[in-house]
């Protein structure tokens, strides 16, 4: 009878006394232990069930496609590799680590020196590398493989702790054979035990008769990666003693009973099994999204669904359409079709910032609630960024999951899952599954919304990279705001796309303002380079396409498809005018424009300019009529700001719009992902694609029909006033802050593109969406642009711009993953010279973003008596519990509620604190307040955090700066006078 792992009679039945004495796991606290044969059997059983019930169909198909026996062979291979992954523990170098267990093995003739006598050389034979060597020897000596053939299989064993071995490590072990088996008579017994274990696994798990046919197989590197990840996950689950108890606590029972109990306890949600929706796009959108009564699906949405059906297989789709055109819904609808056709088991929605990720998460949950394929299934859901636990929606899901326990699975203290009650609620259920938490495993959840950093990490040489690849290889990947990523990030994104193409992952890229050259780079990165003349011409056509909206699609190795759906009926002619810089000029103009009421958005390129403008406008319009929004608010205030903007300036019928004149002064946070609508826009000069994004917040919705009669009469035609620049100079001179943020070249190219439309459009206004693509392509074209008098300034700016881009690309390439090598080449050295662990911390994000490392602090208040408390202006939580002024004792861990409330007051300090000397001084000063009582594992909200205490006037001093904070203005930083 075949068992869970594909076994026949149980592994123990094939083994004799010495092989049965080899140990694999030991708990130094309880003295419990696990024999190697049992861990082999557990791991194989887990791998078999993961293959049957957890791995997405797309992953299984990719592995099966390269093996002569198809999916049957693929399952046998995965189970067998999981079974033998720890064969390197059957060596003196490993077994000597626990003396009492080593002594038992010596009693069976397996002689070995003590750990101390073996010395530092023992580290050359890490058990993963040792297992790779032993398995390779066995395949060569007992099954006739060549040395060149074995590496593509054995590297899965060698890399099961996250880093495939490098050639130098393999050579070093070759020079120390005594680490694998001792010299003298017992050496033969060691070799016999190793072969006995490997022979037993081959027979028990059904590969003995398949090995001959596998000799001619050349495993592509993506397949090697996926097999490695399956083995890693199987090992982690099988290493959890709460699921698979150690001896002697393990009650006598069969292997099948042991595994069945463990799998019930794990209760791991399965992958999404998408069903292709029937009917037309109108019916699909009506059933998946909350369309208003009588609303019609937009042409670009219909086109995305049709193109997904036309592609014929997994591929890349680039969807370019105006702001507010429903690109998110189009992407999710296309993802449903692509998942059904490819076998993808989930969706990852990648967004540029934590704030946009938070905004997307409830939309993702709403969509999931309407998917018919989820009605009778449980699926894991994740909000993927470092502050996800502070998101109320995600916190609700986590609270419904099971508790976790700390288990050291590979020497690094990985947090593991503790089994609990198996009572379940029937029907559909979305869970933030407890086992799928932590920086290594979280992305394995089926449905993920998070920052693009999580996707870019898949292109970064780092430990456990195979798991990140498994996480994306089995999903549909949606990349939002593709225009928002600079050269540094694009280097990683393009490399990730090349691997996604190799995996056959469906990808949907969204943008309203994508340069044509960047469109071609994205398509070609996914499809791969080609010298075929037809392909070269097709890629050239992608770069030349000027339709808008535009849909572009390609399958790996295929020829691009392009479609130009009609624009929706939503159009706007935006009158664009110059406005001299200066807060008094701004105030005078807004007093004139808002004399009859109305809502204006003022977008500044720096926080300092936001606060300067807000101060002037409050003097004129009153405190209650000016709202400030920028990135330097504590997290909880930033979330409240976004919610407040939506409540007052959101879509008609869902917002309580101010009845008197109101001005929002914002930084770039107003550019994306907020469905807000204003009567008038004043903006600093910015790159033209970002200017267009800002214009997307202008007359975004109809208010009083096509004539906008619900808006003040003076503001019924959309107008954009461009400031932040000296327009009187021979060459426009942007203000210093804008130059620091965007550089002169992008700003001058933007001004040149806008020249025909400035001052009310001497030629004509900016017509949306008609002019979006032409403006973007003009501003980003390689050919010179602008008046003759600007030529030298543009040339000088371009030189600096190209130098900066080249520097970004060079630095990004340092830790960038290589492209997949030819099939059959092992993954040896795959992540050599990498960054170690990669995670979504400020240090981790700095690895894939070209930004100065920033300091993040938790803001609290120091009272007059010296005690600490949460800041005093916080509103109650959703249950009505007060959060303001909660005590934060320094002699013990605060209550969980107080600690979480304090953690929700995180703040990223501005750029002044990103310079090395200032940062070092700031860290030294902040660490003086290190509260030892909080640095314990029970204080996970506050342990390791830098605490910034404000006095009762909400001020403090730090590294030569005065910091002032208010819930209305956020953080204001000024340099101390000396």
Strands 415-417 and 347-351: unpaired
Q: Looking at residue 528, what is its pLDDT?
A: 87
Q: What gap in Å lies between CA 915 and CA 570, rounded to an integer?
A: 46
The strand pairing partners of 450, in sequence order, are 350, 384
Give the torsion sign (CA, 404, 407, 409, 414). Answer: positive
Q: Are 677 and 650 in contact (CB under 8 A)?
A: yes
Q: Are 305 and 334 in contact (CB under 8 A)?
A: yes
Ramachandran quadrant class, 343 (left: phi over 0; alpha: psi -120 to 50; beta: rest):
left
Q: What gap in Å lies between CA 131 and CA 593, rounded to an integer?
A: 75
DSSP one-letter code for 954: S
> Whose structure tokens read 């920052």?
451
Q: What gap in Å lies between CA 765 and CA 433, rounded to an integer?
A: 52
**What is 572-768's CATH number, 3.10.180.10, 3.30.800.10, 3.40.50.300, 1.20.1560.10?**
3.40.50.300
- In 604-693, where do the E strands start and end? 626-629, 662-666, 680-684
The strand pairing partners of 551, in sequence order, are 319, 563
Q: Are 276 and 340 in contact (CB under 8 A)?
A: yes
Q: Are 206 and 76 in contact (CB under 8 A)?
A: yes
Q: How many other CB atoms are there within 10 angstroms of residue 220's CB atom?
A: 21
State the Cα angle at 840 between 834 and 843, rounded to 5°. 60
Give, for 948, the enclosing helix (H) or strand (E).
strand 946-950
Backbone angles phi, psi at 239, to 5 degrees: -90, 0
Give the torsion sign (CA, 831, 834, 836, 838). Answer: negative
Q: Are 571 and 768 in contact (CB under 8 A)?
A: yes
Q: Looking at residue 416, what is its pLDDT?
A: 37
Q: Are 231 and 156 in contact (CB under 8 A)?
A: yes
Q: Looking at residue 51, what is its pLDDT?
A: 98
**Span 233-263, pLDDT tens digits:** 999 999 999 899 998 765 556 888 899 999 9
Q: What gap in Å lies between CA 412 and CA 406, rounded to an integer?
A: 11
Structure tokens at 302: 């219909």
Would you mind telling me the total number of residues written for the chain in this entry? 978
Q: Looking at residue 433, what is its pLDDT?
A: 66
Q: What gap in Å lies between CA 626 and CA 973, rounded to an integer?
A: 20
Of the candidates 613, 642, 639, the one whose C-alpha atom is nearest the C-alpha of residue 626 is 613
566 upstream amide cis, omega within 30 of 0: no
Q: Are 720 and 600 in contact (CB under 8 A)?
A: no
Of the candidates 534, 539, 542, the one whose C-alpha atom is nearest the C-alpha of residue 563 is 542
Structure tokens at 831: 């992540």
Domains 302-390+437-563 and 572-768 share a fold: yes
Q: Are 195 and 138 in contact (CB under 8 A)?
A: yes
Q: Looking at residue 156, what is its pLDDT?
A: 98
Class of the CATH-defined domain 13-253: mainly alpha
How remote is the C-alpha of 114 from its chain's centroid?
A: 45
Q: Looking at residue 869, what is its pLDDT?
A: 96
Q: Looking at residue 602, what is its pLDDT?
A: 98
Q: Return all residues near 89 (Cβ < 8 A) that are at least 6 apart.
A: 22, 23, 24, 36, 95, 127, 131
Q: Are 297 and 357 in contact (CB under 8 A)?
A: no
Q: Looking at residue 803, what is its pLDDT?
A: 93
**Span 31-79, pLDDT tens digits:** 889 999 999 999 999 999 999 999 999 999 999 999 999 999 999 999 9
Class of the CATH-defined domain 302-390+437-563: alpha beta
Q: Are 5 and 79 in contact (CB under 8 A)?
A: yes
Strands 725-726 and 733-734: antiparallel
Produce one character per residue of 134-154: b if its CB has 16 or more CB atoms within 10 Å, e if not: bbbbbbeeebebeeebbbbbb
For the chain, which residues make up each domain, given as ranges?
A: 13-253, 302-390+437-563, 572-768, 852-975
Span between the terminal Cα atoms of the chain, in Å: 84
Q: Are 941 and 896 in contact (CB under 8 A)?
A: yes
Segments in the chain below pLDDT 70:
1-8, 249-253, 373-376, 388-389, 394, 396-439, 531, 569, 673, 760-763, 833, 835-846, 848-853, 938, 978
Q: Looking at residue 790, what is its pLDDT?
A: 95
897 upstream amide cis, omega within 30 of 0: no
How remote is the C-alpha of 93 from its chain's centroid?
A: 38
Q: What gap in Å lies between CA 206 and CA 430, rounded to an integer?
A: 36
């Amino acid at each position: 009878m075949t068992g869970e792992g594909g076994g026949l009679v149980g592994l123990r039945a094939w083994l004799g006394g010495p092989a049965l004495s080899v140990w694999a796991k030991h708990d130094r606290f309880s003295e419990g232990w696990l024999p190697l044969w049992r861990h082999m059997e557990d791991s194989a059983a887990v791998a078999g069930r993961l293959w049957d019930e957890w791995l997405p169909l797309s992953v299984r198909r990719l592995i099966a496609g390269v093996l002569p026996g198809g999916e049957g062979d693929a399952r046998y291979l995965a189970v067998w590799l999981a079974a033998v992954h720890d064969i390197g523990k059957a060596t003196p170098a490993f077994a000597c680590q626990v003396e009492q267990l080593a002594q038992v093995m010596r009693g069976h003739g397996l002689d070995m020196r003590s750990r101390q006598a073996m010395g530092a050389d023992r580290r050359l034979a890490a058990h993963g590398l040792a297992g790779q060597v032993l398995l390779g020897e066995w395949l060569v000596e007992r099954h006739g493989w060549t040395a060149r053939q074995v590496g593509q299989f054995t590297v899965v064993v060698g890399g099961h702790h996250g880093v495939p071995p490098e050639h130098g490590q393999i050579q070093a072990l070759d020079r120390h054979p005594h680490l694998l088996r001792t010299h003298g008579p017992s050496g033969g017994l060691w070799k016999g035990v190793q072969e006995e274990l490997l022979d037993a696994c081959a027979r028990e798990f059904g590969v003995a008769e398949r090995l001959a046919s596998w000799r001619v197989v050349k495993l592509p590197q993506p397949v090697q990666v996926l097999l490695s990840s399956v083995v890693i996950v199987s090992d982690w689950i099988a290493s959890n003693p709460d699921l698979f108890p150690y001896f002697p606590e393990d009650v006598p029972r069969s292997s099948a009973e042991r595994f069945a109990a463990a799998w019930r306890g794990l209760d791991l949600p399965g992958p999404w099994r998408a069903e292709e929706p029937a009917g037309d796009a109108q019916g699909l959108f009506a059933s998946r999204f909350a369309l208003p009564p009588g609303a019609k699906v937009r042409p670009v949405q219909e086109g995305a669904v049709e193109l997904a059906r036309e592609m014929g297989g997994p591929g890349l789709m680039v969807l370019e359409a105006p702001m507010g055109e429903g690109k998110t819904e189009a992407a999710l609808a296309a993802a449903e079709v692509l998942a059904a056709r490819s076998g993808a088991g989930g969706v990852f929605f990648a967004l540029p910032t934590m704030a946009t990720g938070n905004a997307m998460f409830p939309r993702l949950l709403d969509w999931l609630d309407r998917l018919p394929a989820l009605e009778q299934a449980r699926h894991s859901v994740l909000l993927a960024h470092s502050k996800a636990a502070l998101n109320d929606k995600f916190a609700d899901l986590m609270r419904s999951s099971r508790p976790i326990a700390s288990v050291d699975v590979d020497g690094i203290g990985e947090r593991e899952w503790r089994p609990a009650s198996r009572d379940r609620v029937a029907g559909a259920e979305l869970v933030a599954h407890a086992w799928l938490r932590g920086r290594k495993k979280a992305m394995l959840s089926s449905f993920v919304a998070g920052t693009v950093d999580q996707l870019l990490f898949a292109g970064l040489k780092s430990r456990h990279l195979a798991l990140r690849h498994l996480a994306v290889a089995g999903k549909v990947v949606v990349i939002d705001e593709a225009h928002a990523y600079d050269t540094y990030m694009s280097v990683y994104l393009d490399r990730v796309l090349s691997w996604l193409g190799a995996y056959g992952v469906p990808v949907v890229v969204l943008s309203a303002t994508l340069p044509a050259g960047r469109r071609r780079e994205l398509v070609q990165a996914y499809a791969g380079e080609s010298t075929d003349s037809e392909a070269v011409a097709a890629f050239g056509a992608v770069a030349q396409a000027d339709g808008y909206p535009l849909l572009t699609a390609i399958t790996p190795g295929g020829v691009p498809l392009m479609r130009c759906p009609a624009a929706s009926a939503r159009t706007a002619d935006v009158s664009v005018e110059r406005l001299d810089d200066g807060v008094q000029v701004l105030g005078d103009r807004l007093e004139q424009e808002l004399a009859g009421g109305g809502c204006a958005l003022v977008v500044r390129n720096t926080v300092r300019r936001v606060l300067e403008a807000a101060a002037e406008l409050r003097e004129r319009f009153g405190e209650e009529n000016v709202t400030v929004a920028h990135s330097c608010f504590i997290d909880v205030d930033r979330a409240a700001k976004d919610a407040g903007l939506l409540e007052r300036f959101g879509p008609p019928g869902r917002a309580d719009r101010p009845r008197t004149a109101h001005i929002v002064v914002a930084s770039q946070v107003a550019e994306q992902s907020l469905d807000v609508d204003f009567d008038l826009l004043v903006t600093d000069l910015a790159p033209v694609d970002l200017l267009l994004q800002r214009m997307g917040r202008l007359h975004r919705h109809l208010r009083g029909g096509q004539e906008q009669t619900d808006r003040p009469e003076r503001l019924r035609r959309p107008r954009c006033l461009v400031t932040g620049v000296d327009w009187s100079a021979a060459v426009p001179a942007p203000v210093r802050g804008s130059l620091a943020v965007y550089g002169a070249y992008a700003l001058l190219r933007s001004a040149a593109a806008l020249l025909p439309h400035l001052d009310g459009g001497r030629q004509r206004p900016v017509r949306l969406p008609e002019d979006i693509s032409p403006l973007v392509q003009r501003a980003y074209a390689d050919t010179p642009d602008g008046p003759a008098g600007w030529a030298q300034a543009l040339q000088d700016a371009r030189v600096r711009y190209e130098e900066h881009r080249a520097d970004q690309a060079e630095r990004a390439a340092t830790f960038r993953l290589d492209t997949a090598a030819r099939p059959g080449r092992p993954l040896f050295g795959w992540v050599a010279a990498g960054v170690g662990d990669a995670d979504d911390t400020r240090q981790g994000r700095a690895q894939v973003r070209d930004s100065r490392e920033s300091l993040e602090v938790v803001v609290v208040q120091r009272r007059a008596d010296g005690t600490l408390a949460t800041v005093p202006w916080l509103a109650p939580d959703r249950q009505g519990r007060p959060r303001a002024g909660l005590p934060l004792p320094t002699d013990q861990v605060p209550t969980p509620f107080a600690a979480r409330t304090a953690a929700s007051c995180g703040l990223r300090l501005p750029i002044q604190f990103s310079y090395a000397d200032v940062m070092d001084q700031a860290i030294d000063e902040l660490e003086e307040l290190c509260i030892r009582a909080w640095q314990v594992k029970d204080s996970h909200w506050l342990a390791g955090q830098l605490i910034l205490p404000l006095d009762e006037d909400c001020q403090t001093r730090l590294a030569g700066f005065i910091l002032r904070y208010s819930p209305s203005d956020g953080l204001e930083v000024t340099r101390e006078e000396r």
